[in-house]
């Protein structure tokens, strides 16, 4: 039995369970004053919007250079992937893998995973609920780590200012990459994980009614 089926709303901020005033769909939490609803407001639309924005930014983030190195010999621009390759050395390979995972694999996996969660929930899927909620938690937990590359480029550029010998400047790809991270984090925030379970909860309630009849 779910809270929604009983006409109860739980507060996302303080966890209190409460009942809206008769005839009303939503109210405020009497304990912490948060606005309450059965499910997050227009969760599908907002999550899709952030996700599409992230997917659009993902392309320039990977195609445009994130760092430009200027030496006496000239200027050289690196994309994220080129940065990973440059970092690969007998001693640096573990860090190269960290950047590869955090900057390239996690953002793309996040976009695909969120799209999968949205599509299955919207189609009313009742299969693999346990797996899907684990996927949601993974995406929620891991998302922030994509910021690693932004910090790498920030501090590399801030330190290597040895004109005219050598200087490093952030490239035009950096803002798109940062946008991918922020948009996917906002998408996760907007998604209501309870939507994963709603079809299964409804079916469960129906089958119980049948068996009691």
Site for other proteins in 152-181 (CB under 8 A): 152, 154-162, 165-166, 169-170, 174-175, 178
Subset of residues 27 to 46 that bind other proteins, contact rule: CB under 8 A = 27-36
Residues 77 to 106 in contact with other proteins, rule: CB under 8 A = 86-87, 91-92, 95, 98-99, 102
DSSP-derived 3-state class of residue 146: helix
User: Whole-number minimum distance, CB 33 to other proteins, in Å?
Assistant: 4
- Evaluated on CA atoms 54, 55, 57, 60, the torsion sign reads positive
1 vs 119, beta carbon nearer other proteins = 1
**Contact set for other proteins, span 125-154 (CB under 8 A):** 129-130, 133, 136-137, 144-145, 147-152, 154
- State the Cα–Cα distance between residues 205 and 1, nearest whole angstrom: 7
Q: Based on CB atoms, which residue is closest to other proteins, 2 or 108?
A: 2
| Cα 36 to Cα 70: distance, rounded to the nearest angstrom | 54
Q: Which two tokens stand for residue 15?
A: 């966890």
Q: Is 14 in the site for other proteins (CB under 8 A)?
A: yes
Strand partners for 114: none
8 A C-beta contact, residue 139 and residue 111:
no
């Amino acid at each position: 039995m779910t809270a929604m089926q009983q006409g109860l709303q739980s507060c996302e901020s303080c966890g209190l369970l409460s009942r809206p005033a008769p005839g009303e769909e939503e109210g405020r939490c009497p304990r912490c004053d948060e606005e309450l609803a059965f499910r997050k407001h227009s969760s599908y639309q907002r999550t899709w919007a952030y996700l599409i924005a992230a997917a659009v930014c993902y392309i320039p983030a990977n195609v445009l250079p994130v760092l430009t190195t200027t030496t006496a010999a000239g200027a050289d621009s690196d994309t994220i992937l080129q940065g990973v390759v440059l970092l690969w050395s007998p001693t640096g390979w573990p860090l190269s893998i960290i950047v590869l995972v955090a900057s390239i694999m996690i953002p793309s996996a996040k976009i695909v995973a969120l799209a999968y969660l949205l599509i299955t929930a919207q189609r009313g899927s009742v299969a693999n609920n346990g797996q899907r909620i684990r996927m949601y938690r993974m995406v929620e937990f891991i998302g922030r780590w994509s910021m690693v590359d932004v910090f790498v480029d920030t501090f590399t550029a801030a330190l290597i200012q040895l004109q005219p010998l050598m200087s490093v400047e952030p490239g035009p790809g950096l803002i798109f990459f940062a946008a991918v991270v922020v948009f996917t984090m906002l998408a996760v925030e907007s998604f209501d994980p309870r939507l994963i379970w709603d079809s299964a909860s409804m079916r469960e309630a129906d089958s119980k009614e049948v068996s009691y009849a």
